[in-house]
Chains A and B, each alone.
Chain A
Amino acid sequence: MRISTMSAQQSALNGVLNAESNASTTEAHLASGQKLLNASDDPTAAAQVLGLTQISDANTQYQTNITAGTDRLNAEGDALNQVTTILQSARSLALEASNGTETAQDQQAIATQLQQMLDQLVQVANSRDGQGDALFGGNAVSGAPFVQSGNAVSYAGDAGQRMVAAAPGMQVATGDPGSTVFMDIPAGNGQFAVAANAANAGSLVVGQTSVTDPSAFVAGSYKIQFTDTTGDWTATNAAGATVGTGTLSDTGQGTGSIAFGGMQIQVTGQAAAGDSLQVTSGVPQSVFTTFGNLIATLQGGTPGAASSNVINQQLQGIDNALGQVEDVQAQVGARVDTLQQQNTSEGNLGVLYKGDLSNLQDLDMASAISQLDLQTVALQAAQQAFVKVQGLSLFNYLQP
């Protein structure tokens, strides 16, 4: 084909310009270290980068959440440990008070100690997390959740439970409301509680109680009435209907038992005619009430069957409270474990996401540099071709 001089020149120039443009693009990639300068460099990867950024950012945030949640759970665990210590000390004191050899003065002294423990317990129950939020107030975190007035303590919080987002679709509780931990503690043996009438004249003391036949047990309130001094008893339900009768086998000697409606109640001592026991179920008793009852009885100062009955019942209350706290502690421990496991797996995922992002975004320096070398060679070749074409002209040989 015939080539016009202008197009020969233009072709050679185009070669140079193309080679320059290619080299400059590679240079821009090298300078930024990025494979994706524009979405048009790789549209699919660009969209993937956005999706991965979202997942990766969320993953990082979940790890932050877990740290915050773990801090709060650890604070709760610390508080619960203190509660356990207090309850255990209180239990030994109550046991001491119940052994029957204590004088009124001794009991007074124990009452004073228990008083201090109650104050301490309220203080722990009102403790706050690192952010200044009440630990046991439910969602009412600003005020003090437990309000003490004398020996009576009331709960001002609610039943809310703070949650933390630990993973997509996974929320873990980072707190327990004070109502669960301190207030709603099952009374008695957990299913029913037995209280002796304060006006009992005999020396009857209630001991171990249990549900022996769960199928026959019906929750409700019952009254056990003693009609004479030989230990004959009649049990009636809330409506006044008789649900059981019997005679204490071995009263005054040590143990005797009352059984009806699937329940068994161990008693010691001698019942007087007209004495009665009250069975209740489903009514919780707060740990503060337990303390209050103990203190009031011990301050009352007359050791005897009446106070023994109350003290025994409160000992059961303390045991129940300890059980409750242990349950909550176990839950807290399980939640911390869950969060830590999640944190580890999110840490691994984070590394994975970063690697994927790097694969999509970051330039392979070695291949880019070798590409630039090739392009530089191509540019030099194009420039030399241009010079050669420029120098070729018939006029050069037409010398005068």
Chain B
Amino acid sequence: MADLLNTGVSGLLAARTALDTVSNNITNADTPGYSMQTVNLQAAPAENAGNYSIGTGVAITGITRAYNQYLVTAARTQNSALAGATSLNTLLGDTNNLFGGSANLQTALDAFYSGVQTAANDPSSVPVRQALLGQATSLANTFHTLAGQLDTQASQVNQEVAGDVGTINGLAGTIATLNQQIVAAYATGTTPNDLLDQRDQALRQLSSQVGVNVYAEGNSVNVSVGSGTMLVSGTQAYALSTAPNAYDASQTDVFSAQGTDVSGQLTGGDLGGALAFRTTVLAPTQDQLGAAALAFTNVVNAQQAKGMTLTGALGSPLFSVANPTALAASGNTGGAGISASVTDPGALTGQNYVVTEQAGALQVTTMGGTPVTGVTGTGAAGDPLTFNGLSLTLSGTPANGDSFEILPTRSAADTIQVAITNPNDLALAAPVVAQAGASNTGATVGGVSVLDPTNPDLLASATVRFASPTTYTVNGGAAQTLTGSTIQQNGWSLALAGTPVSGDTFTVGSNAAGVTGDNSNALALGNTATQGVLNGGTTSAAAAYAALVAANGDLGQQAETDLTTQTALSQQATQAEQSVSGVNLDQAAANLVMYQQSYQASAQVIQTANTIFNALLNAIQ
């Protein structure tokens, strides 16, 4: 009879525990990372009563959490991908906004070239020239605005990297501590469900920051990032750190506890997204914008040099840009510095380079590590290292292994400036003028153009005299033979119209007298709007800018699509995981009713035991 009471009591205890568990589930229904818990019940061992055995009630074997390792891992991976896509999309959205915004380079370029044409229509007017200088300044400012916004994005990425690394380190510490507590709890024989939930939640938060690899070792988990950089090993957390890039101090990189730069290895999560943005979007955008600035400067200055100013001098550069950025690695042991210049913008490849001193010679590779071919020179002052349109000169002696980073166009858009202040210095006129002799009976002047504005004798007066239809002398010098119908001398080229006869003369000299009215160089300057410079002289500055905008637009569109996809995938994975681990309140309500009834029934068993015991007592009385 005592068995009936004990059985009833075991039912009461089991129902009570189950009710506690269900209540706990209900109250934690909205707790992030909480896994539904269930009471595991088992029939208590039966008592042997001779030729039969009888059950002794119910036993609680444990409380387990609903958990599926595969689904949790999948949800965590998708979470990483989603955080990465979100971060990339947000940053790219800002970049695209920038190029779609008011600081439109094309409009500024068009305004500048309109100014050139207006000056060509009235070359002697100083106010018109002043207006052109104003448009040049506003164009340079547009470059500055765009480049400045990109610089702001770069520092925003730096802040994000630093913030993310701080969060990652905090979470790594939490996971290591939880590992310790979980191992200790298991040692006492209990299953620490809530600690396990907390650890999974910490891992999920960590995966939002950066893509992680998680693998179990006993009751602990080990966490690594990138290509095997250990973050948590058992109870030990290895903190990541941030420090300036080895070459570019303005760029914050992520370093492992061992001091290795792991920025290039980290993918996924907020940090992975920010780093991917920096390498795949921001740096190429800065380089391409710089290339456009460089191309524009180059083509305008080349034409300006072929013209004559209102004061009768040859044109000096209208724009200036800084030389390519050349950065020495922070770990260099030699005292060498390096300076770079662009010799041919058409030969630039859009690549950035690393130059390394190896066994007494400089090796050039791309940032990706591919050796560059066609490198000539040693880098000494008289023999610069030249490749792909660049020229590098070392100062001092580098130690073996010292390296330098060369960013050919990174800073061009930041540094483009209008180099002349006096509107008279705009070279709108042709520097030389040709005049046929008054008594010429054969040829007349077809045109004169400048081939080499650096020729010191360009503006010197030269008289061409024909001794026969095919031979001529210049300033009474040695006889020369006419080939075709052009004469090249002193850096100019004189085209003849008609066939010269003996005695025909031509004088070529400075156009200083005609600078007020001559607009031929202004017209030529106007034609540079569509002149190809980059990519072997095929891409104009405006085309380079349009390509840049389109490329960023493409990336932005991809990032948006990617975000949509990742959002759906992540929601699915989370839902799948929640379908196992999440609390369903309807289920909880049903369980509540079930265990309540179970409790009432067990109580009834005890009541019954009491009743039959009393019946027995009454029978004896």
Contact = CB atoms under 8 A, between A and B. Distances in A.
A371 interface: no
A3 B571 CA distance: 13
Top 4 A-B pairs, shortest CB-CB distance: A4-B582, A40-B556, A43-B553, A139-B514
A57 interface: yes
Given A39-B99, A393-B586, A50 B542 contact: yes
A39 B556 contact: yes
Contact of B519 (A142, A162, A284, A398): A162
Given A54-B542, A140-B516, A165-B526, A38 B550 contact: no
Interface string A133-168: 110011111100000000000000011101111001
Contacts of B555: 40
B92 A142 contact: no
B118 A64 contact: yes
28 contacts: A2-B579, A3-B584, A6-B29, A6-B578, A11-B571, A37-B100, A39-B553, A40-B96, A40-B553, A40-B554, A40-B557, A40-B560, A43-B551, A50-B542, A53-B106, A58-B113, A64-B114, A65-B120, A65-B121, A133-B124, A139-B518, A140-B514, A140-B516, A140-B517, A158-B433, A159-B435, A283-B439, A394-B590
B100 A162 contact: no
Contacts of A11: 571, 575
B43 interface: no
B546 to A, nearest CB: 4
A40 B107 contact: no
Contact of B433 (A139, A171, A219, A393): A139
Given A11-B575, A133-B124, A158-B513, A398 B96 contact: no
Interface string B522-554: 010011011000000000001101110111111
Interface string A24-65: 000000000000111111111011001101100110111011
Given A6-B583, A139-B429, A158-B435, A54 B106 contact: yes
B582 A38 contact: no
A48 to B, nearest CB: 8
A36 B557 contact: no
Given A40-B92, A58-B110, A138-B514, A50 B545 contact: yes
B30 interface: yes
Contact of A51 (B546, B556, B578, B585): B546
B553 A139 contact: no
Contacts of A85: none
Interface string B172-195: 000000000000000000000000
A163 B519 contact: yes
Interface in B476-535: 511, 513-520, 523, 526-527, 529-530
B120 A61 contact: no
Most chain B beta-carbon contacts within 10 A, residue among A44, A171, A394: A394
Contacts of A36: 100
Contacts of B598: none
A61 B125 CA distance: 18
Interface string B109-150: 111011001101110110000000000000000000000000
Contact of A7 (B114, B513, B574): B574
Given A43-B557, A50-B546, A54-B109, A171 B96 contact: no
A44 B97 CA distance: 16
A14 interface: yes
A165 B117 contact: yes
Contacts of B118: 61, 64
**Highest count of chain B CB atoms <10 Å: which of A5, A64, A131, A395:** A5
A69 interface: yes
A50 B544 CA distance: 11
B373 to A, nearest CB: 32
A5 B114 contact: no
A282 B529 CA distance: 44
B44 interface: no
Contacts of B552: 39-40, 43
Contacts of A366: none
A171 to B, nearest CB: 6
A142 B516 contact: yes
A317 B459 CA distance: 38
A7 B546 contact: no
A52 to B, nearest CB: 10
B114 A131 contact: no
B586 A394 contact: yes
Q: Is the interface of A mostly helix, strand, loop or mixed?
A: mixed
A68 interface: yes
B518 A160 contact: yes
B interface: dominant SS: helix
A1 interface: yes
B439 A5 contact: no
Nearest to B440: A282
Interface of B: 29-30, 36, 92-93, 96-97, 99-100, 106-107, 109-111, 113-114, 117-118, 120-122, 124-125, 429, 433, 435-436, 438-439, 441, 445, 511, 513-520, 523, 526-527, 529-530, 542-543, 545-547, 549-557, 559-560, 571, 574-576, 578-587, 589-590, 592-593
Interface of A: 1-7, 10-11, 14, 36-44, 46-47, 50-51, 53-54, 57-58, 60-62, 64-65, 68-69, 131-134, 137-142, 158-160, 162-165, 168, 171, 219, 282-284, 393-395, 398
A225 B415 CA distance: 80
Given A40-B93, A140-B514, A283-B439, A61 B117 contact: yes
A339 to B, nearest CB: 13
Given A2-B587, A40-B96, A160-B433, 19 more contacts: A4-B584, A10-B574, A37-B100, A38-B553, A38-B556, A40-B553, A41-B557, A43-B551, A50-B549, A53-B110, A54-B530, A58-B110, A64-B114, A139-B516, A141-B517, A158-B514, A168-B530, A284-B438, A395-B585
A164 B560 CA distance: 48
Contacts of A395: 585, 589
A258 B156 CA distance: 97
Nearest to B522: A165
A53 B549 CA distance: 14
A162 to B, nearest CB: 6
A167 to B, nearest CB: 12
B44 to A, nearest CB: 30
A39 B584 contact: no
Contacts of B435: 158-159
A255 B60 CA distance: 150
B71 to A, nearest CB: 12
B30 A53 contact: no
B518 A43 contact: no
B579 A7 contact: yes
A288 B571 CA distance: 94
Contacts of A64: 114, 117-118, 121
B579 A4 contact: yes
A160 B93 CA distance: 54
B445 A159 contact: yes
Of A11, A40, A62, A171, chain B has the most CB atoms within 10 Å of the CB of A40
Nearest to B26: A395
A142 B517 contact: yes
Nearest to B31: A6
B441 A282 contact: yes
Contacts of A164: 120-121
Contacts of A3: 575, 578-579, 582, 584
Given A6-B582, A54-B542, A47 B107 contact: no
A142 B122 CA distance: 12
